[in-house]
Structure 1
Amino acid sequence: MKGFLIRFMAALSMGGTGKGLQDGSKPGLANVYAMGLVSFFTDVSTEMVTGYLPVFIVSDLGGTRAILGLIEGAGELTNNFFRMISGFISDRLGKRKPLVFAGYAFSTLSKPLFSVSTTPTEALSVRVMDRIGKGIRTSPRDALLSQSVDEKVAGKAFGLHRSLDQLGAILGPLLATILLPLIGPRPLFVASFIPGVIALLILWFFVVDVKTAPGKTQLLKGASKIMKGDFLLLLTILAIFGIGYYDFSFILVRSAELGIAPDLVPLVYMAINLFHTAIGYPTGVLSDRIGREPLLATSFILFSLTSLVFTYSSGFTAIILLIVFYGLYFGIYETVSRALVPKYAPSELRGTAYGLLYIVVGLSNLVGMSLVGFIWDNAGRIQAFTYSMLTGIVATVLAVLLAIRACAKSLMTQ
């Protein structure tokens, strides 16, 4: 830890005032450390809220599970849409930092508004605002990270950034668990503003922009050229999986139903994040050896097991299994799903490929979360998660087919 602090202070001393570089030079790991801390404090702020928000919407605001699914699904659709748009705009402008700052600021200012929300509709509006901020910042932030260092150390840079980001995702729910009994949920939402402001100050003063020549790209240009073959199969798989998808919020609500005290629900979320973080690096290493397609299928199997536990298990054992299966699923899926795109899309159409991916995932997840929640409310838990398990199984079979096709092509080229 001492060595990390020494390297960080040295990095910041070189980071300067945050002015942009235009001469083609790279700010180096100073920028990566600074952006890592920005993500760390932002994730502390976000996860302080997120670890309790589903229970707040259902218990305090009187929202149904279908409404909770709609809120989370709409948030992720918004996130994916603005992620696509912001990447396009930042390429057009040749600047990254203004959009990164705008995105982080939008999220920081929006989350405290949960404290004055009195209806699920108001919570939906705030959640969408927060996700707009995430969508605006993500693509230009990743581009700025990649432009801050030489390609040969890009993996180290992204790994460092992700480690700090995940540390914040673990600390945030822990902090929420400590504060909830002391101040209650609404003041907790207000308190999330503090680490968000710290993140903005670090971003403003220490993150250096790397300016590039304004691009002339067109949004979704050449989409028809890549909507075929294995890439189309990949999008189909993700769409089928998405229409039965639900996120961690349903697990938090279910854990409260199974006897976890509301003030301790953020610990369930923290545990999910621990498994998510722990599996990420080994998944990346393994994917380099056996390919990403088999691991995508593995993630779907784990998700289907999560649904099986939802359907038939109860008690404390069910909570543990939900945490383990969902945390492992999410860590594997997050590592390999987007990483598959470069394999199936040429470099000149990669932006378009990611745009199509964001649209498909965002729309299908909105349908899935709303539908699973609706079935849970109106037909029952068993019916809802049996449906989700079946879509996961279908996606698994198709992902195995994709893996077989990839293996066959690999053998043919040897």
Structure 2
Amino acid sequence: MRKSTVFIVILGIVSLFADMTYEGGRGITGPFLAFLGASAFMVGFAAGFGELSGYLVRFLSGYISDRTGRYWLITFAGYLINLLAVPLLAFAGNWQVAVLLIILERLGKGLRTPPRDAMLSYASYDMGHGAGFGLHEALDQIGAVAGPLMVFIVLASGGGYREGFLVLLAPATIAIAVLVTGYLMFPRPSELEASGEIDYRDFRGAYWLYLASVCFVALGYADFPLIGYHLGVRSVLDPSNIPIIYALAMLTDALSALVSGRYFDRYGFRVMALAVLVSMFYAPLSFLGGSWAAVMGAVLWGVGMGAQESVMRAAVSAFSSPERRGSAYGTFNTIFGVAWFSGSLIMSYLYGLSVPGLVAFSIITQSAALVILLGLEGFRSAG
């Protein structure tokens, strides 16, 4: 096995156990906040502002990573904050403290994402950026499936939300241990990318079209805590079954990432356009249907997330030079985060006014993204 592949697998295993931690927690944050007395708007605000904070810090994190070359140091700091905030939710006595910890967890994730993705982009040069990020996301999502299942077992065994958060300390510890192993084996991951003759300035026009499509995707994609809140308060599903639905979405995410990443290297943005077309129907199924519709909605939601986490990240590597890779990921994630936060607030507000209005907003924005992606593929082909 090539060194670059080994490196991707190691970071994938780190993400596997990290996702067990924070995705296991996210599967119940919506119902947990409702249990503590938070409103639907506050649930959406916590999820949205947490994402916004995490994405805004990525701009600074990516810039500092490139300027200092301290990719590993910033990655370690981010993982520690990201992972320890989750089990601490077990000790939250009110929804205000819980919201603060949710935001802190997102900040930690935001801090470590640009330097980690830059290191992944170096390693995925040989196999193809789409395939490399797809492999990483697939390993990542194994943890995203296992985490909610761990929490489900705790709840099904008679435990409460607090016990569910506390058990997630175990995978958090393993993630940090594997991350240390990765550093010891690959202290300079930038050496994994071969030098090339690509003139990245040729991609500037397409890059702005790409960012426009990313904004519309983010605007219309509901965060799962709002979906989980809806399924719980409207009694569409028993609260103990919501983590199972989330685990199903994460499993679909993993499969979608592998397929989308692999075919992106061959067919370009048509793959992302197809994923948007398929996944845009998650909203009517999740928010307007019954229990079986909620299951199908979770599957389609996972299809879209898998494509976003593989293709959208891989494309940044194709648009940016190696020495500015951290900044490129930081900028991309900041723009994506602002759009995600805006969409979370809008959809949370619409949820209180009209659930069909929320669904219409989601479909319209995803349709706009689809049109731009098809235009982007035409731009790419012409170039």
TM alignment of 1:359-398, pairs within 5 A: 359-377=334-352, 379-398=353-372
What letter matches 2:259 in structure 1?
P
What letter matches 2:257 in structure 1?
G
Q: 1:304-350 CA deviation, whole Å, 9 max, x = no partner?
A: 31223346x42223112211211112112222223333455566665
On the 8 A contact 1:180/1:263 being kept in 2, the answer is yes
On the 8 A contact 2:138/2:253 being kept in 1, the answer is no
Partners of 2:135 and 2:342 lie apart in 1 by 34
The equivalent residue for 1:112 is: 87
Aligned equivalent of 2:28, options 29, 34, 52: 52
Q: 1:349-396 CA deviation, whole Å, 9 max, x = no partner?
A: 65544333222111111111011011111x121112212222222222
Q: Which has the larger radius of gyration?
A: 1
CA separation of 1:35 and 1:183: change in aligned 2, threshold 3 A: same
TM alignment of 1:85-234, pairs within 5 A: 85-145=60-120, 151-152=125-126, 161-181=136-156, 182-204=158-180, 207-208=183-184, 209-211=186-188, 229-234=205-210
The alignment-based identity, stated in percent, is 28
CA separation of 1:374 and 1:119: change in aligned 2, threshold 3 A: farther
CA separation of 1:100 and 1:124: change in aligned 2, threshold 3 A: same
Structure 2 length as normaliser, TM-score?
Answer: 0.85
The equivalent residue for 1:405 is: 379
Partners of 1:234 and 1:32 lie apart in 2 by 25
The CA deviation at 1:34 is 4.2
The CA deviation at 1:278 is 1.3
Unaligned runs of 5+ in 2: 191-200
Partners of 2:277 and 2:21 lie apart in 1 by 32
Partners of 1:154 and 1:297 lie apart in 2 by 20
The CA deviation at 1:301 is 2.2
The count of residues paired between Structure 1 and Structure 2 equals 369
The CA deviation at 1:87 is 2.8
Partners of 1:33 and 1:330 lie apart in 2 by 20
Partners of 2:323 and 2:177 lie apart in 1 by 36
The CA deviation at 1:154 is 7.4
The equivalent residue for 2:314 is: 339
The CA deviation at 1:130 is 0.7
What letter matches 2:333 in structure 1?
Y
Partners of 1:161 and 1:277 lie apart in 2 by 9
Structure 1 length as normaliser, TM-score?
Answer: 0.79
TM alignment of 1:203-282, pairs within 5 A: 203-204=179-180, 207-208=183-184, 209-211=186-188, 229-256=205-232, 257-282=234-259
Partners of 1:310 and 1:126 lie apart in 2 by 27
Tell me, what secondary structure is at the counterpart of 2:362? helix
Partners of 2:320 and 2:11 lie apart in 1 by 29
Aligned equivalent of 1:354, options 308, 329, 345: 329
CA separation of 1:186 and 1:237: change in aligned 2, threshold 3 A: same
Unaligned runs of 5+ in 1: 1-6, 8-25, 214-224
Partners of 1:316 and 1:212 lie apart in 2 by 46
Partners of 2:297 and 2:121 lie apart in 1 by 35
Partners of 2:180 and 2:113 lie apart in 1 by 17
Partners of 1:33 and 1:343 lie apart in 2 by 21
Q: 1:2-32 CA deviation, whole Å, 9 max, x = no partner?
A: xxxxx9xxxxxxxxxxxxxxxxxx9766655
Partners of 2:204 and 2:9 lie apart in 1 by 40
The CA deviation at 1:199 is 2.1
Partners of 2:98 and 2:79 lie apart in 1 by 19
Partners of 2:345 and 2:146 lie apart in 1 by 29
On the 8 A contact 1:146/1:154 being kept in 2, the answer is no
The equivalent residue for 1:324 is: 299
On the 8 A contact 2:151/2:165 being kept in 1, the answer is no
Partners of 1:229 and 1:154 lie apart in 2 by 22
The CA deviation at 1:36 is 3.5
On the 8 A contact 1:304/1:390 being kept in 2, the answer is no
Partners of 1:39 and 1:116 lie apart in 2 by 25
The CA deviation at 1:231 is 2.2
